[in-house]
C-alpha cells in the first residue's frame, strides 16, 4: 500500500512519545470499529429496533474509560505511512465526543484526555483494528478538553476540543458545507477559512466523496479537513455520491460516528435541535425513516429547543443543474423531497433546512409552511453555473443564488440565528437572519 501524503498542516503534528499500556501488543485481528460496518444496509431500511435515535447513546465500538494516565517512557518515531487517515472528531454532546483515526496495520488504540494538558484519563479500544473509534465520556459541559491519541508505543500531538454547552445555551457558532467531492484542493482552502471562524462544530449536507471509495474518503475528506476536524467535531447527512461505488454505504457507516445507524437521527446542541435525514432512503410516513423523523422531532428535546433545523442532501427546489435537463433526471430532482418530506417537516415545526446536492448557494426565505431553506453545495465540487442551457427550473421561492464555491457560518445568539455565506476568497456573499418564536 502506498503511504498517505498529508497536507503541510498535518506533517508538523507528530510527536515522539513512548507508552506503557497493557494489551497494546495484542494480536492484530483487524477487528474493532470496522466490524460494525456490515450491520446496516443503508439502501434498504433503517433498524426497526431503533426507529428514533438521539445523541447520548453508546458508540458502535467498545472502549473502557478509566482514570489511569499513561506513562511516558522512551521516545519512538512512527514509521512512514503508519497513519492512513488523520484524527477527526465526531458526535459531540455536553459530556461525550468520538475520536477517530485510521492506521496502516491493526493495533489497539487509546486516547488520553482531561481538562488540562496533563490529561489524566484514559479510554482504550477493546480489540485491534485499523479503523479506530474511541468514545470519550463523563466530561464537563461547555468545557475545553485536551486529548492525545496513541498506539503501540507511538503518540500524536495533544489537541483540544470543547464539549457542548447545556441544553438551554443559545450562544454559539457552527459552520456548514456540502458537496466537497472531487475538489480536495478547494475544500482544503475552505476548511482553512472555516477554521478561522472558530466554530464550535461543523455539519455537512453530504457528498463528501465522489464515488464512495476508501481512497476517496482519505484523499477527498479526511486529508483536506484534517486541520479543522482534529479540534472541531462534525456530523454528516449522507448524500448520493457516497454510494456510487458502495451501494450499501458500508464505508460511510464505517468511517462516520453518528447516533444510531448513522443515517437518521436527532442531535441537540445548546438550544438548537438538528434532524439529520438520508434522502437516499424511504421517507414516507410509516417507513422506518419516516417514523424516525416523526418521533425525533416530536421528542421533548426537539419541542423545547429554540430552533429546529433539518440537515439532508437533496433540496426540494433546483433552478440550475450541470448538463441541464438531459442530466437532471427524476432521481437527481428528487420530487419526493418537495412532495412528501417538506410538508412532513412543516407539520413538525422545523424552522430551517440545510441542503446540498445543487453545486451553488441558494436561499429560499420562509415559505408559507414556515421553513427557511438554504442550499450550500459549494464545498469543492464543480459549480452549477448560470449557463442558459443548464436552467432546469424557475422556482420563484428561491430569491438568492450565487454560483461559486463557499461555506456557511451560522451564529446563534439568543433568539436569533444569523447565516452568512462566505466564498472561497473569504468574502461574504449573502446573509440572512431568522428568529425563534420560543419564549
How many separate domains does the chain show? 2
Residue 145 in domain: yes
**pLDDT the model gives residue 81:** 66
Is residue 309 a part of any domain in this protein? yes
Contacts of 226 (CB under 8 A, 6+ apart): 6, 7, 9, 10, 86, 87, 88
CA–CA distance, 235 with 220 (Å, rounded to integer): 16
User: 180 and 157 in contact (C-beta within 8 Å)?
Assistant: no
Tell me whether residue 49 is in a domain. no
Q: What is the DSSP letter of 316?
A: S
Q: How high is the pLDDT of residue 57?
A: 38
Question: If residue 308 lies in a helix (H) or strand (E), which one and from where to where?
Answer: strand 307-311
Residues 129 and 208 in one domain: no
Structural domain including 67 reads: 8-30+61-162
Pair 231, 374 in one domain:
yes
The C-alpha atoms of residue 273 and residue 266 are separated, in whole angstroms, by 7
Q: Please report the pLDDT score of residue 80 as a whole number.
A: 55
Q: What is the CATH number of the domain that holds 408?
A: 3.60.21.10
130 CA to centre of own chain: 21
Give the burial string for 265-289 (b: 16+ CB within 10 Å, else e). Answer: bbbbbbbbbbbbbbbbbebeeeebb
Q: What is the pLDDT of residue 261?
A: 87
pTM: 0.85
Q: What is the pLDDT of residue 76?
A: 57
254 and 155 inside one domain: no
Q: In the chain, which stretches have pLDDT less than 50?
A: 1-75, 77
User: 138 with 200, same domain?
Assistant: no
Asked if residue 45 belongs to a domain, the reply is no
Considering the domain architecture, whether residues 177 and 144 belong to the same structural domain is answered as no
**Is beta strand 352-355 parallel, antiparallel or unpaired with respect to 307-311?**
parallel
Using CB atoms within 10 Å of the CB of residue 105, give its burial: 0 to 12 exposed, 13 to 18 middle, 19+ buried. Answer: middle
Domain ends where: 110, 127, 162?
A: 162
pLDDT for 252-295, tens place per residue?
999 999 998 899 999 999 999 999 999 999 999 999 999 999 99
Q: Which CATH number is 142's domain given?
A: 2.60.40.10
Check whether residue 216 and residue 271 sit in a common domain.
yes
Q: Distances from the Cα of 300 to the Cαs of 221, 287, 297, in angstroms?
A: 34, 22, 8
Residue 132 lies in a domain: yes
Residue 52 lies in a domain: no
Does residue 213 contact residue 73 with C-beta atoms inside 8 Å?
no
Q: Is the CB of residue 417 less than 8 Å from the CB of residue 170?
A: no
313/369 same-domain check: yes
Last residue of a domain, one of 162, 184, 210: 162
Final residue of a structural domain among 128, 162, 196: 162
Q: Could you tell me if residue 3 is inside a domain?
A: no
Q: Are residues 154 and 181 in the same domain?
A: no
Number of C-alpha atoms within 13 angstroms, CB side, residue 360? 20
Residues 177 and 158 in one domain: no
Burial class (CB in 10 A: 0-12, 13-18, 19+), 38: exposed
Same domain, 256 and 214: yes
182 and 244 inside one domain? yes
Task: Looking at the structure, tell me whether residues 273 and 128 fall in a common domain.
Answer: no
pLDDT (0 to 100) of residue 439? 67
CA distance 37 to 242: 14
Residue 276 included in any domain: yes
Amino acid at each position: 500500500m502506498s503511504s498517505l501524503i498529508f497536507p503541510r498542516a498535518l506533517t508538523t503534528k507528530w510527536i515522539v512519545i513512548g507508552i506503557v499500556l497493557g494489551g497494546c501488543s495484542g494480536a492484530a485481528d483487524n477487528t474493532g470499529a470496522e466490524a460494525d460496518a456490515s450491520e446496516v444496509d443503508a439502501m434498504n431500511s433503517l433498524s426497526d429496533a431503533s426507529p428514533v435515535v438521539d445523541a447520548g447513546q453508546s458508540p458502535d465500538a467498545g472502549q473502557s474509560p478509566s482514570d489511569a494516565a499513561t506513562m511516558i517512557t522512551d521516545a519512538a518515531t512512527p514509521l512512514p505511512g503508519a497513519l492512513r487517515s488523520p484524527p477527526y472528531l465526531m458526535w459531540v454532546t455536553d459530556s461525550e465526543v468520538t475520536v477517530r483515526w485510521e492506521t496502516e496495520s491493526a493495533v489497539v488504540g487509546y486516547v488520553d484526555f482531561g481538562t488540562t494538558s496533563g490529561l489524566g484519563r484514559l479510554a482504550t479500544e477493546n480489540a485491534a483494528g485499523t479503523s479506530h473509534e474511541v468514545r470519550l465520556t463523563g466530561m464537563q459541559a461547555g468545557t475545553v478538553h485536551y486529548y492525545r491519541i496513541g498506539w503501540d508505543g507511538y503518540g500524536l500531538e495533544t489537541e483540544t476540543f470543547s464539549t457542548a454547552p447545556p441544553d438551554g445555551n443559545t450562544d454559539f457558532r457552527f459552520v456548514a458545507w456540502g458537496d466537497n467531492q472531487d475538489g480536495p484542493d478547494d475544500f482544503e482552502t475552505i476548511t482553512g477559512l472555516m477554521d478561522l471562524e472558530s466554530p464550535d462544530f461543523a455539519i455537512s449536507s453530504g457528498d463528501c466523496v465522489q464515488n464512495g471509495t476508501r481512497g476517496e474518503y482519505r484523499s477527498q475528506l479526511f486529508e483536506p479537513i484534517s486541520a479543522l476536524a482534529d479540534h472541531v467535531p462534525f456530523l454528516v447527512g449522507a448524500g448520493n455520491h457516497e454510494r456510487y461505488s458502495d451501494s450499501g454505504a458500508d464505508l460511510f457507516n464505517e468511517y462516520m460516528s453518528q447516533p444510531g445507524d448513522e443515517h437518521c437521527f436527532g442531535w441537540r446542541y445548546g438550544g438548537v435541535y438538528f434532524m439529520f435525514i438520508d434522502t437516499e432512503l424511504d421517507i414516507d410516513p410509516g417507513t422506518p425513516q419516516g417514523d424516525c423523523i416523526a418521533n425525533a422531532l416530536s421528542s421533548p428535546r426537539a419541542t423545547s429547543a429554540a430552533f429546529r433545523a433539518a440537515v439532508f442532501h437533496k433540496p426540494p427546489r433546483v433552478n440550475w443543474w450541470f448538463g441541464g435537463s438531459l442530466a437532471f433526471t427524476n432521481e437527481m430532482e428528487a420530487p419526493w423531497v418537495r412532495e412528501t418530506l417538506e410538508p412532513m417537516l412543516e407539520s413538525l415545526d422545523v424552522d430551517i433546512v440545510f441542503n446540498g446536492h445543487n453545486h451553488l448557494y441558494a436561499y429560499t426565505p420562509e415559505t408559507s409552511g414556515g421553513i427557511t431553506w438554504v442550499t450550500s453545495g459549494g464545498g469543492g465540487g464543480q459549480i452549477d453555473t448560470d449557463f442558459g442551457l443548464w436552467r432546469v427550473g424557475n422556482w420563484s421561492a428561491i430569491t438568492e443564488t450565487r454560483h461559486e464555491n463557499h461555506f456557511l457560518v451560522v451564529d446563534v445568539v439568543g433568539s436569533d440565528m444569523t447565516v452568512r455565506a462566505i466564498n472561497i476568497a473569504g468574502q461574504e456573499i449573502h446573509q440572512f437572519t431568522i428568529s425563534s418564536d420560543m419564549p
